[in-house]
Amino acid sequence: MAISLDFKGKVVVVVGGTSGINRGIAELFAAQGARVAVASRRQKKVDETVDSLQRLGADAIGFTADVREPKELESGLEEVHQKFGDFDVVVSGAAGNFPSLANDLSWNGFKSVVDIDLRGTFHVMKAVFPRLRKPGASVINISAPQAFLPMKAQVHVCAAKAGVDMITRTLALEWGASGVRVNSIVPGPIDGTEGMARLAPDEKSRKSAIRGVPLGRFGTPVDIGNACLFLASDLGSYISGAIIPVDGGWSQNNCGMMSEHLGMMMERKA
């Protein structure tokens, strides 16, 4: 089969695609000629992202939806399907995170992150399946190292992202017969993102985070976008059910001192 990283005319949907890593992913697909749809809760962020994708020359649209609300997702995705047709690539990356020790976390704080990350991922999966190109579609869930490495002050995220990766692996089993591949990408510490601003809010903790990365630098949204392009292209056509760290080796190093850093930061706060 011819190898192609050309996404001209391909339909790419990025849920949670209006900032940070996911927006970077949407921009990379747009630059490769894809038609791109993005979704998130806030109209302003959706509009700004659609503008920026159009400035890259892409046919781009967006809609607002909270992944906790399946009906909002259904109606937005149906509009995209009416306009663009079957989805070739779906990236599901909406998430919430804040550091909190378990004993300080309210019932609703735990629920809120599990609702967005875990239940939200299931909602996205179920809502996109009827609209996927079959065979051929590639679905990518954006996970986190907390899915397989316990981390202090992250019990809600650890629990939710572990579930996300099990959704990936289970749907790879169920959807394989339809020719749909499902994988997780696990970003490392990505510079300039909301996620890193929340976990490493000052220079000292940023430096300590970099020290834990064997390759010695923060990642960028382009690093993660490149992995998505590869996975969604013909080059990735035999990869399904994989949980793929793109993290400069960070997770092999237990994410450096991140767990201790978060534990101490939250104990000081208490």
Q: Could you tell me which residues come within 8 angstroms of residue 91 by beta carbon, excluding any fewer than 6 positions away?
A: 12, 13, 14, 15, 17, 22, 25, 26, 140, 142, 228
To ligand COA, the closest distance from the beta carbon of 146 in angstroms equals 10
Retrieve residue 250's tokens: 């960070």
Residue 109 touches which member of ligand NAP, ligand COA, none, C-beta under 5-8 Å by kind? ligand COA
Cα 247 from Cα 143, distance rounded (Å)? 12
Interaction partner, residue 248 (ligand COA, ligand NAP, none; CB < 5-8 Å by kind): none
Footprint on residues 126-165 left by ligand NAP (CB under 6 A): 142, 144
Dist. CA 153–CA 220, nearest whole Å: 24
Nearest residue to the partner ligand NAP, using Cβ = 20
In the complex, least distance from residue 66 CB atom to ligand COA, rounded to whole angstroms:
8
Q: For tokens 């209006």, name the residue.
A: 18
Q: ∠ at Cα 158 (169, 197), nearest 5°?
A: 115
What is the rounded (10 degree) CA torsion for 134, 176, 226, 28? 20
Burial class (CB in 10 A: 0-12, 13-18, 19+), 177: exposed
Which of 139, 190, 228, 231: binder of ligand NAP (CB under 6 A)? 190
Selected from 97, 168, 233, 251, the binder of ligand COA by CB under 6 A is: 97
Give the one residue of 54, 64, 112, 259 binding ligand COA; rule: CB under 6 A: 112
Contacting positions for ligand NAP (CB under 6 A): 16, 18-22, 40-42, 45, 66-68, 93-96, 116, 142, 144, 187, 189-190, 193-196
- Residues of this chain that interact with ligand COA (CB under 6 A) are 95-98, 100, 106, 108-109, 112-113, 194-195, 198
